[in-house]
């Protein structure tokens, strides 16, 4: 088996349109594909501004209730600027460490409670940066 990359991370939310206001309008993701009819059968695929892995907003389910995402990392060029954008969008970080190993990092949660890490790497190996 030869896995080339992670294609998408599922983000379970209660209200996809509300989540779009954060992920698209505040964080700058672009809608790649909007599939389904009705709030519980809909999935919206979004691409990060720098490309690479996509995220998929889905209505929460019994197996993955809204707000159950943990441990996903969003790499940023400027952590302070990214946190400023979040604050502008009404989201406050839960934790910030300017001296974290590998580079400054911060945790935040979306309106549903999905927890993300923002990470500004000190140095990015060429294989990851591409």
Per-residue pLDDT of the chain (130 residues; tens, 9 = 90+): 888 778 899 999 999 999 999 999 999 999 999 998 776 789 999 999 888 889 999 998 888 999 999 999 999 999 999 999 999 989 988 899 999 999 999 999 999 999 999 999 996 555 555 5
| Domain extents in the chain | 8-60+67-129
Tokens of 67: 């707000």
- pTM reported for the whole predicted model: 0.86
3.30.70.1710, 3.90.1150.10, 3.40.50.720, 3.10.180.10: which CATH number matches 8-60+67-129? 3.10.180.10
17 phi and psi angles, rounded to 5 deg: -65, -40
CA dist., res. 128 & res. 101, Å (int): 17
Distance of CA 1 to the CA centre of its chain: 27
CB atoms under 10 Å from CB of 79, counted, come to: 20
Give the CB-side neighbour count of residue 105, counting CA atoms within 13 A.
15
């Amino acid at each position: 088996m030869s896995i080339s990359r992670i294609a998408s991370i599922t983000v379970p939310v209660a209200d996809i349109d509300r989540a779009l206001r954060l992920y698209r309008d505040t964080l700058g993701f672009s809608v790649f594909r909007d599939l389904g009819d009705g709030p519980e059968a809909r999935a919206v695929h979004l691409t990060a501004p720098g490309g690479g892995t996509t995220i998929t907003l889905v209505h929460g389910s019994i197996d993955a209730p809204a707000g159950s995402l943990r441990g996903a990392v969003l790499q940023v060029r400027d952590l302070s600027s990214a946190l400023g954008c979040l604050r502008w969008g009404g989201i406050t970080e839960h934790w910030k460490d300017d001296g974290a190993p590998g580079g400054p990092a911060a945790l935040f949660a979306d309106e549903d409670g999905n927890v993300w890490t923002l990470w500004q790497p000190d140095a990015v190996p060429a294989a990851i940066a591409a």
